[in-house]
A = this chain, B = another copy of it.
Amino acid sequence: MDNILTRRSIRKFRSNHVTDEDIEKILRAAMSAPSAANKQPWEFIVIKDRKILDKIPEFHPYAKMAREASIAIVVCGDTRRSDDRGFWIQDCAAASQNILLAANSLGLGSVWCGVYPKEDLTDKFKELFNLPKEVYPVSFIPIGYPNEEKPPSERFDEDKIHNDKW
Docked complex Cα distance between A101 and B98 (Å): 9
Instruction: Kindly provide the distance from the CB of A142 to the nearest chain B CB, expressed in whole angstroms.
Output: 13
Q: In which size bucket is the chain A interface?
A: 35 or more
In the complex, the answer to whether A160 meets B93 with C-beta atoms within 8 Å is: no
List residues of chain B with CB within 8 A of the CB of A28: 5, 156
By beta carbon, the residue of chain B nearest A162 is B45
- Whether A97 contacts B106 in the complex (CB less than 8 A), given A31-B160, A86-B117, A130-B165, comes out as no
Would A5 and B34 count as touching, CB distance under 8 A?
no
Q: How many copies of the chain does the oligomer comprise?
A: 2
Contacts of A118 in B (CB 8 A): 85-86
Interface set of A (CB-CB < 8 Å, partner B): 1, 3-5, 7, 9, 25, 27-29, 31-34, 36, 40, 42-49, 52, 85-87, 89-90, 92-94, 96-98, 100-102, 105-106, 111-112, 114, 117-118, 129-132, 135, 138-139, 152-153, 155-157, 160-166
CA distance A77 to B28 in the complex (A): 29
Complexed CA–CA distance, A14 and B49 (Å): 50
Cα–Cα distance between A4 and B131 once the two chains are bound (Å): 29
In the assembled complex, 17 residue pairs joining A and B whose CB atoms fall closer than 8 Å, in A order, are A1-B25, A4-B102, A5-B28, A27-B161, A31-B157, A34-B111, A40-B157, A43-B162, A45-B165, A46-B164, A90-B90, A90-B93, A90-B114, A93-B94, A129-B165, A131-B166, A135-B166
Q: Is the CB of B138 within 8 A of A1?
A: no
Which residues on B sit within 8 Å (CB–CB) of A89?
A: 89-90, 93
Tell me whether A48 and B163 are in contact in the complex, defined as CB-CB below 8 angstroms, given that A28-B5, A36-B114, A118-B85 are known contacts: yes
